[in-house]
Chains A and B, each alone.
Chain A
Amino acid sequence: MSPENIFHLGLKELRSLTRDPIMLVLIAYAFSISIYTAATAIPETLNQSTIAIVDEDRSPLSARISSAFYPPHFVPPALINRAEMDARMDAGLDIFALNIPPNFQSDLLSNSQPTLQLNVDATRMSQAFTGSGHIQTIVNDEVRAFVQRYRDVNTLPVDLNLRMRFNPQLDKTWFGSVMQIINHITMLSIVLTGAALIREREHGTIEHLLVMPVTPFEIMGAKVWSMALVVLVASALSLKLVVEGLLSVPIQGSILLFLSGTFLHLFATTSMGIFLGTMARSMPQLGLLLMLVLLPLQLLSGASTPRESMPELVQLTMLAAPNTHFVALSQAVLYRNAGLGVVWPQLLAIALIGAVLFALALSRFRKTIATMA
Chain B
Amino acid sequence: MTLHQNSATTRSVAVASLKQLTLRYGKVSALDGVNLDIPAGCMAGLIGPDGVGKSSLLALLAGARVMQEGQLEVLGSDMRSARLRRQICPRIAYMPQGLGKNLYPSLSVLENINFFGRLFGHDGEELAKRSAVLTHATGLSPFLSRPVNKLSGGMKQKLGLCCALIHDPDLLILDEPTTGVDPLSRRLFWELIDNIRQERPQMSVLVATAYMEEASHFNWLAMMDAGHILATGTPNELLERTDTHSLEAAFIALLPEKKRRNYQAVDIPPLAPDATSGADFAIEAKDLTMRFGDFTAVDHVNLQIQGGEIFGFVGSNGCGKTTTMKMLTGLLPPSEGQGYLFGQEVNPRDMATRRRVGFMTQSFSLYSELTVVQNLTLHAQLYHVPIDLIPGRVTETLKQFDLETVCDNLPDALPLGHRQRLSLAVAMIHRPETLILDEPTSGVDPVARDAFWNLLAKLSRRDGVTIFISTHFMNEAERCDRIALMHAGRILATDSPAKLCSAQHVDSLEDAFVNYLTAAGAGDQQKGTQTSADTQPEPPLSQLTCQGDSSLYGWRRHFNPRRMGSYARRETLELVRDPLRLTLALLGSVILMFVMGYGITFDVEDLTFAVLDQDQTTLSRDYAMSISGSPYFTEQRPITSYADLDQRMRTGALSLALEIPPGFARDIARGRQVEIGAWIDGAMPTRAETVRGYVSGMHAHWLGIKAREAGYTGAAGDSTLAGLLTIETRFRYNPGVKSVVAMVPAVIPLLLMLIPAMLAALSVVREKELGSIINFYVTPTTRLEFLLGKQLPYIVLSALSFLLLTALAVTVFGVAIKGSFVALATAALLYVSAATAIGLLISSFMRSQIAAIFGTAVITILPAVNFSGMMDPVSSLEGMGKVIGELYPTTHFLTISRGTYSKALEFADLTASFTPLLIATPILLGLAVILLKKQAR
Q: Is the CB of A122 within 8 A of B678?
A: no
A80-98: which have CB < 8 Å to B? 87, 89-92, 95
Q: Is the CB of A30 within 8 A of B858?
A: yes
CB distance from A72 to the nearest CB of B (A): 9
Q: Is the CB of B677 within 8 A of A163?
A: yes
Q: Does B763 contact A (CB under 8 A)?
A: yes
Q: Is the CB of A284 within 8 A of B581?
A: yes
A4 with B381, Cβ < 8 A, contacts A122-B732, A308-B605 known = yes
C-alpha spacing A16/B411, complex, angstroms: 13
Q: Is the CB of A5 within 8 A of B382?
A: yes
Q: Is the CB of A45 within 8 A of B584?
A: no
A37 with B727, Cβ < 8 A, contacts A122-B735, A159-B675, A284-B766 known = no
CB distance from B785 to the nearest CB of A (A): 22
Q: Number of A residues whose C-beta is below 8 Å from B? A: 145
A90 with B652, Cβ < 8 A, contacts A5-B382, A191-B853 known = no
B853 nearest CB neighbor, chain A only? A287
Find A283's partner among B732, B853, B861 (CB 8 Å cutoff). B853
A111 with B851, Cβ < 8 A, contacts A158-B674, A162-B678, A205-B365 known = no
Q: Is the CB of B725 within 8 A of A170?
A: no
Find B850's partner among A175, A195, A284 (CB 8 Å cutoff). A195
Q: Which of A52-60, A141-149, A228-236, A255-263 contacts B (4 or more CB under 8 A)?
A: A141-149
User: Please, which residues of chain B bring their CB within 8 A of the CB of A198?
Assistant: 849
C-alpha spacing A47/B872, complex, angstroms: 9
Find B685's partner among A34, A137, A171 (CB 8 Å cutoff). A171
Q: Does B496 contact A (CB under 8 A)?
A: no
Q: Does A373 contact B (CB under 8 A)?
A: yes
User: Please, which residues of chain B bring their CB within 8 A of the CB of A214?
Assistant: 382
B755 nearest CB neighbor, chain A only? A291
C-alpha spacing A195/B765, complex, angstroms: 14
Q: Is the CB of B331 within 8 A of A373?
A: yes
| Total A-B contacts with CB atoms under 8 angstroms apart | 468
Q: Is the CB of B596 within 8 A of A299?
A: yes
A6-50: which have CB < 8 Å to B? 8-9, 11-12, 15-16, 18-20, 22-23, 26, 29-30, 34, 37-38, 40-50
C-alpha spacing A1/B249, complex, angstroms: 51
C-alpha spacing A67/B727, complex, angstroms: 18
User: Please, which residues of chain A bring their CB within 8 A of the CB of B591?
Assistant: 292
A83-142: which have CB < 8 Å to B? 87, 89-92, 95, 108, 111, 113-130, 132-134, 136-137, 139-140
Q: Is the CB of A90 within 8 A of B329?
A: no
C-alpha spacing A368/B674, complex, angstroms: 70
User: Please, which residues of chain B bring their CB within 8 A of the CB of A129?
Assistant: 602, 604, 690, 693, 737
Q: Which of B64-72, B235-243, B776-784, B897-905 contacts A (4 or more CB under 8 A)?
A: B897-905
Find A34's partner among B671, B716, B862 (CB 8 Å cutoff). B862
CB distance from B253 to the nearest CB of A (A): 37
Q: Does A363 contact B (CB under 8 A)?
A: no
A133 with B584, Cβ < 8 A, contacts A89-B732, A122-B734 known = no
Q: Is the CB of B684 within 8 A of A175?
A: yes
Q: Is the CB of A213 within 8 A of B673?
A: no
CB distance from A173 to the nearest CB of B (A): 9
Q: Is the CB of A163 within 8 A of B680?
A: yes
Q: Which of A264-272, A330-338, A350-358 contacts B (4 or more CB under 8 A)?
A: A330-338
User: Please, which residues of chain B bring their CB within 8 A of the CB of A188?
Assistant: 854
Find A29's partner among B333, B683, B858, B866 (CB 8 Å cutoff). B858
C-alpha spacing A49/B873, complex, angstroms: 8
C-alpha spacing A174/B686, complex, angstroms: 12
Q: Is the CB of B766 within 8 A of A298?
A: no
Find A126's partner among B847, B862, B872 (CB 8 Å cutoff). B872
Q: Is the CB of A370 within 8 A of B861?
A: no
User: Please, which residues of chain A bring their CB within 8 A of the CB of B847?
Assistant: 22
Find B585's partner among A113, A144, A288, A298 (CB 8 Å cutoff). A288
CB distance from B288 to the nearest CB of A (A): 15
A91 with B731, Cβ < 8 A, contacts A2-B384, A114-B725, A171-B685 known = no
Q: Is the CB of B601 within 8 A of A309?
A: yes
CB distance from A121 to the nearest CB of B (A): 6
Q: Mark B854-880, 1 if CB is under 8 A from A, else 0.
A: 111110011001110001110111111
Q: Is the CB of B599 within 8 A of A41?
A: no
C-alpha spacing A206/B763, complex, angstroms: 24
Find A164's partner among B379, B688, B718 (CB 8 Å cutoff). B688
Chain B interface helix/strand/loop/mixed: helix
Q: Does A314 contact B (CB under 8 A)?
A: yes
| Of A92, A119, A166, A290, most B-chain CB atoms within 10 Å | A92
User: Please, which residues of chain A bring their CB within 8 A of the CB of B13?
Assistant: none
A166 with B683, Cβ < 8 A, contacts A37-B880, A38-B881, A120-B731 known = yes
| Of B352, B369, B769, most A-chain CB atoms within 10 Å | B369
Q: Does A254 contact B (CB under 8 A)?
A: no
C-alpha spacing A19/B651, complex, angstroms: 43
A212 with B382, Cβ < 8 A, contacts A40-B878, A191-B853, A306-B604 known = yes
B510-558: which have CB < 8 Å to A? none
C-alpha spacing A75/B725, complex, angstroms: 25
Q: Does A281 contact B (CB under 8 A)?
A: yes
Q: Does B359 contact A (CB under 8 A)?
A: yes
User: Please, which residues of chain A bring their CB within 8 A of the CB of B367?
Assistant: 12, 15-16, 205
Find B724's partner among A113, A283, A310, A311 (CB 8 Å cutoff). A113
CB distance from B359 to the nearest CB of A (A): 4
Find B595's partner among A4, A41, A174, A296 (CB 8 Å cutoff). A296
Q: Is the CB of A143 within 8 A of B724?
A: yes
Find A290's partner among B652, B857, B898 (CB 8 Å cutoff). B857
Find A161's partner among B655, B677, B697 (CB 8 Å cutoff). B677
A48 with B725, Cβ < 8 A, contacts A41-B881, A163-B679 known = no
Q: Mark A271-301, 1 if CB is under 8 A from B, else 0.
A: 0000000000111111111111011101110
Q: Does A240 contact B (CB under 8 A)?
A: no
B350-408: which have CB < 8 Å to A? 351-352, 354-355, 357, 359, 361-363, 365, 367-370, 374, 378-379, 381-384
C-alpha spacing A34/B865, complex, angstroms: 13
A148 nearest CB neighbor, chain B only? B719
A42 with B866, Cβ < 8 A, contacts A122-B731, A291-B755 known = yes
CB distance from A119 to the nearest CB of B (A): 5
CB distance from A271 to the nearest CB of B (A): 18
Q: Does B692 contact A (CB under 8 A)?
A: yes
A74 nearest CB neighbor, chain B only? B876
A167 with B737, Cβ < 8 A, contacts A288-B581, A305-B602 known = no
Q: Is the CB of A130 within 8 A of B690?
A: yes
**Can you report 8 A-B residue pairs in the complex whose CB atoms are below 8 A from each other?**
A5-B381, A116-B726, A125-B743, A162-B695, A287-B853, A294-B857, A295-B750, A336-B652
A residues apposed to B, CB below 8 Å: 2, 4-5, 8-9, 11-12, 15-16, 18-20, 22-23, 26, 29-30, 34, 37-38, 40-50, 75, 87, 89-92, 95, 108, 111, 113-130, 132-134, 136-137, 139-140, 143-144, 147-148, 154-168, 170-172, 174-175, 180, 187-188, 191, 195-196, 198-199, 202, 204-205, 207-208, 210-215, 281-292, 294-296, 298-300, 304-306, 308-311, 314, 328, 331-332, 335-338, 342-343, 370, 373
Q: Assuming A164-B688, A290-B758, A373-B332, what are 7 further A-B pairs, CB within 8 angstroms?
A: A42-B872, A87-B909, A91-B912, A133-B697, A204-B361, A300-B600, A309-B605
The 8 closest A-B pairs by CB, nearest first: A41-B881, A208-B365, A167-B682, A125-B602, A122-B734, A133-B693, A283-B849, A164-B682
